[in-house]
Amino acid sequence: MPTTAAIVRTADAMIRKYDTRDPFRLAEQLGVEVYPCDFSGQRGVYKVILRNRFVFLNQNLDEISGRIVLLHELGHDTLHRAEAVKVGGFREFNLFNMKNNRLEYEANVFAAQIALEDETFLRLCENGYDAQQIAAAMESDINLVALKADVLIAQGYRLRRQEHRSDFLRYDF
Protein backbone atom coordinates (compact mmCIF):
# COMPACT_ATOMS: atom_id res chain seq x y z
CA MET A 1 0.00 0.00 0.00
CA PRO A 2 1.65 3.26 -1.10
CA THR A 3 1.77 6.17 1.30
CA THR A 4 0.34 9.54 0.32
CA ALA A 5 3.91 10.86 0.04
CA ALA A 6 4.80 8.00 -2.33
CA ILE A 7 1.72 8.72 -4.47
CA VAL A 8 2.71 12.40 -4.67
CA ARG A 9 6.27 11.45 -5.70
CA THR A 10 4.94 9.08 -8.34
CA ALA A 11 2.61 11.72 -9.79
CA ASP A 12 5.33 14.39 -9.74
CA ALA A 13 7.78 12.05 -11.49
CA MET A 14 5.19 11.37 -14.18
CA ILE A 15 4.63 15.10 -14.73
CA ARG A 16 8.39 15.66 -15.09
CA LYS A 17 8.91 12.64 -17.34
CA TYR A 18 6.12 13.46 -19.80
CA ASP A 19 6.16 17.26 -19.32
CA THR A 20 2.38 17.47 -19.09
CA ARG A 21 -0.55 17.44 -16.69
CA ASP A 22 -3.03 16.78 -19.50
CA PRO A 23 -4.71 13.44 -18.77
CA PHE A 24 -5.27 12.59 -22.44
CA ARG A 25 -1.60 13.16 -23.28
CA LEU A 26 -0.56 11.19 -20.20
CA ALA A 27 -2.80 8.29 -21.23
CA GLU A 28 -1.22 8.30 -24.68
CA GLN A 29 2.31 8.41 -23.25
CA LEU A 30 1.49 5.59 -20.81
CA GLY A 31 -0.03 3.41 -23.53
CA VAL A 32 -3.52 3.51 -22.00
CA GLU A 33 -6.31 3.49 -24.59
CA VAL A 34 -9.19 5.87 -23.80
CA TYR A 35 -12.62 5.09 -25.22
CA PRO A 36 -15.72 7.25 -24.80
CA CYS A 37 -18.79 5.27 -23.76
CA ASP A 38 -22.44 6.07 -23.28
CA PHE A 39 -22.64 4.91 -19.67
CA SER A 40 -25.85 5.32 -17.75
CA GLY A 41 -24.59 4.50 -14.26
CA GLN A 42 -20.91 5.25 -13.98
CA ARG A 43 -18.28 7.78 -14.91
CA GLY A 44 -15.39 5.58 -15.90
CA VAL A 45 -13.88 2.13 -15.87
CA TYR A 46 -10.26 0.97 -15.78
CA LYS A 47 -9.64 -2.45 -17.26
CA VAL A 48 -6.68 -4.58 -18.33
CA ILE A 49 -7.49 -7.00 -21.18
CA LEU A 50 -4.73 -9.32 -22.40
CA ARG A 51 -2.10 -6.94 -20.95
CA ASN A 52 -3.64 -3.99 -22.79
CA ARG A 53 -4.81 -1.15 -20.56
CA PHE A 54 -8.07 0.70 -21.17
CA VAL A 55 -10.10 3.50 -19.68
CA PHE A 56 -13.73 3.66 -20.70
CA LEU A 57 -14.88 7.21 -20.07
CA ASN A 58 -18.46 8.41 -19.86
CA GLN A 59 -18.87 10.63 -22.92
CA ASN A 60 -21.65 12.62 -21.26
CA LEU A 61 -19.36 14.24 -18.68
CA ASP A 62 -18.47 17.91 -18.87
CA GLU A 63 -14.86 18.65 -19.79
CA ILE A 64 -13.63 19.27 -16.24
CA SER A 65 -15.28 16.14 -14.83
CA GLY A 66 -14.00 14.08 -17.75
CA ARG A 67 -10.42 15.19 -17.10
CA ILE A 68 -10.72 14.43 -13.37
CA VAL A 69 -12.25 11.00 -14.03
CA LEU A 70 -9.50 10.17 -16.53
CA LEU A 71 -6.80 11.22 -14.04
CA HIS A 72 -8.49 9.07 -11.40
CA GLU A 73 -8.49 6.06 -13.74
CA LEU A 74 -4.84 6.72 -14.66
CA GLY A 75 -4.20 6.64 -10.91
CA HIS A 76 -5.61 3.12 -10.89
CA ASP A 77 -3.39 2.23 -13.85
CA THR A 78 -0.30 3.60 -12.16
CA LEU A 79 -0.97 2.47 -8.60
CA HIS A 80 -3.31 -0.54 -8.81
CA ARG A 81 -2.68 -2.35 -12.08
CA ALA A 82 -1.90 -5.66 -10.36
CA GLU A 83 -5.14 -5.50 -8.35
CA ALA A 84 -7.10 -4.66 -11.51
CA VAL A 85 -5.65 -7.65 -13.33
CA LYS A 86 -6.57 -9.95 -10.43
CA VAL A 87 -10.20 -8.84 -10.31
CA GLY A 88 -10.70 -8.34 -14.05
CA GLY A 89 -10.74 -4.55 -13.88
CA PHE A 90 -12.46 -1.93 -11.81
CA ARG A 91 -16.12 -1.66 -12.70
CA GLU A 92 -17.11 1.18 -10.51
CA PHE A 93 -20.70 2.20 -10.16
CA ASN A 94 -20.07 4.07 -6.93
CA LEU A 95 -16.91 5.54 -8.33
CA PHE A 96 -14.63 7.67 -6.18
CA ASN A 97 -16.16 6.73 -2.83
CA MET A 98 -13.13 7.03 -0.55
CA LYS A 99 -14.88 6.37 2.75
CA ASN A 100 -13.90 2.72 3.12
CA ASN A 101 -11.91 2.19 -0.05
CA ARG A 102 -8.14 2.63 -0.02
CA LEU A 103 -7.87 2.22 -3.81
CA GLU A 104 -10.34 5.04 -4.50
CA TYR A 105 -8.62 7.37 -2.01
CA GLU A 106 -5.22 6.69 -3.56
CA ALA A 107 -6.51 7.24 -7.11
CA ASN A 108 -8.05 10.54 -5.99
CA VAL A 109 -4.78 11.69 -4.37
CA PHE A 110 -3.01 10.86 -7.63
CA ALA A 111 -5.62 12.83 -9.62
CA ALA A 112 -5.35 15.83 -7.27
CA GLN A 113 -1.55 15.89 -7.50
CA ILE A 114 -1.57 15.80 -11.30
CA ALA A 115 -4.47 18.22 -11.76
CA LEU A 116 -3.57 20.85 -9.18
CA GLU A 117 -0.06 22.25 -9.40
CA ASP A 118 1.41 23.05 -5.97
CA GLU A 119 2.74 26.55 -6.72
CA THR A 120 -0.49 27.82 -8.26
CA PHE A 121 -2.56 26.23 -5.51
CA LEU A 122 -0.43 27.77 -2.76
CA ARG A 123 -0.40 31.20 -4.47
CA LEU A 124 -4.19 31.17 -4.62
CA CYS A 125 -4.34 30.22 -0.93
CA GLU A 126 -1.95 33.06 -0.05
CA ASN A 127 -4.19 35.45 -1.99
CA GLY A 128 -7.15 34.49 0.20
CA TYR A 129 -9.03 32.25 -2.23
CA ASP A 130 -11.35 29.73 -0.63
CA ALA A 131 -11.81 26.16 -1.89
CA GLN A 132 -14.63 27.10 -4.24
CA GLN A 133 -12.63 29.96 -5.76
CA ILE A 134 -9.55 27.75 -6.15
CA ALA A 135 -11.66 25.10 -7.87
CA ALA A 136 -13.00 27.70 -10.31
CA ALA A 137 -9.57 29.25 -10.95
CA MET A 138 -7.92 25.87 -11.50
CA GLU A 139 -10.87 24.37 -13.41
CA SER A 140 -11.34 21.57 -10.92
CA ASP A 141 -13.79 20.23 -8.36
CA ILE A 142 -14.10 21.73 -4.88
CA ASN A 143 -13.70 18.29 -3.29
CA LEU A 144 -10.51 17.58 -5.24
CA VAL A 145 -9.27 20.97 -3.99
CA ALA A 146 -10.06 19.96 -0.41
CA LEU A 147 -8.19 16.68 -0.88
CA LYS A 148 -5.19 18.58 -2.32
CA ALA A 149 -5.24 20.87 0.75
CA ASP A 150 -5.11 17.77 2.99
CA VAL A 151 -2.11 16.46 1.03
CA LEU A 152 -0.28 19.78 1.36
CA ILE A 153 -1.09 19.93 5.08
CA ALA A 154 0.43 16.46 5.46
CA GLN A 155 3.56 17.84 3.74
CA GLY A 156 3.83 20.55 6.40
CA TYR A 157 2.08 23.50 4.76
CA ARG A 158 -0.02 25.59 7.11
CA LEU A 159 -3.41 25.59 5.45
CA ARG A 160 -6.90 25.41 6.86
CA ARG A 161 -8.32 21.92 6.44
CA GLN A 162 -11.24 21.87 4.01
CA GLU A 163 -14.31 19.68 4.19
CA HIS A 164 -14.87 17.28 1.33
CA ARG A 165 -17.28 14.49 0.60
CA SER A 166 -15.80 11.03 0.31
CA ASP A 167 -18.05 10.22 -2.65
CA PHE A 168 -17.64 13.54 -4.43
CA LEU A 169 -17.50 12.18 -7.96
CA ARG A 170 -20.24 9.65 -7.60
CA TYR A 171 -22.53 9.60 -10.58
CA ASP A 172 -26.16 9.95 -9.50
CA PHE A 173 -29.02 9.47 -11.90
- Condensed to tens digits (0 to 9), the pLDDT of residues 83-131 reads 877 776 665 543 445 555 788 899 999 999 999 999 999 999 999 999 9
CA dihedral 68, 80, 43, 149 (to 10 degrees): -30
Structural domain including 89 reads: 4-114
* In-domain check, residue 72: yes
Domain total for the chain? 1
The whole-number average pLDDT for the span 144-167 is 80
Output the CA angle 64-67-71, nearest 5 degrees: 140
* In-domain check, residue 39: yes
* In-domain check, residue 83: yes
**pLDDT tens digit sequence for 15-66:** 999 999 999 999 999 999 999 999 887 889 899 988 899 999 999 999 999 9
Residue 149 scores a pLDDT above 90: yes
CA–CA separation, 43 and 131 (whole Å):
23
Beta 44-49 vs 90-91: how paired, if at all? antiparallel
Residue 163 scores a pLDDT above 70: no
The whole-number average pLDDT for the span 147-154 is 92
Contact between 11 and 110 (Cβ < 8 Å): yes
* In-domain check, residue 163: no
Q: Give the per-residue pLDDT at 93.
A: 40
Contact between 151 and 111 (Cβ < 8 Å): no
**pLDDT tens digit sequence for 63-78:** 999 999 999 999 999 9
